[in-house]
Amino acid sequence: MAVAVRPGQKLTVDEVCDELQIARSTFYDWRQKGRGPRCIRLPNGSLRIRRGDFENWLLDCEDSS
């Protein structure tokens, strides 16, 4: 299914986890180890991930072999 991308779109942790088909605990584990995508922490403590940062992170994760 194609995902409509808006310029400057911000994703929630749940949206990223759904797209990657991973558990939230895996996302936070990667984040703690510095292996996850860049995040923005909102004043209420919630995290958001810029769509562009997420896409770039995915490209960096690609296996070149």
**4 lies in a domain?**
no
Question: Which pLDDT value is given to residue 36?
Answer: 96
What's the token pair of residue 48? 């958001």
CA 61/CA 65 separation, integer angstroms: 12
**36 lies in a domain?**
yes
CA 54/CA 5 separation, integer angstroms: 12
pLDDT tens by residue, 3-58: 566 668 999 999 999 999 999 999 999 999 999 999 999 999 999 999 999 999 99
* Residue 37: closest CA among 1, 22, 64: 22
**Domains held by the chain: number:** 1
**45 lies in a domain?**
yes
For residue 28, the enclosing domain spans: 10-61
Q: In this model, does residue 65 exceed pLDDT 90?
A: no
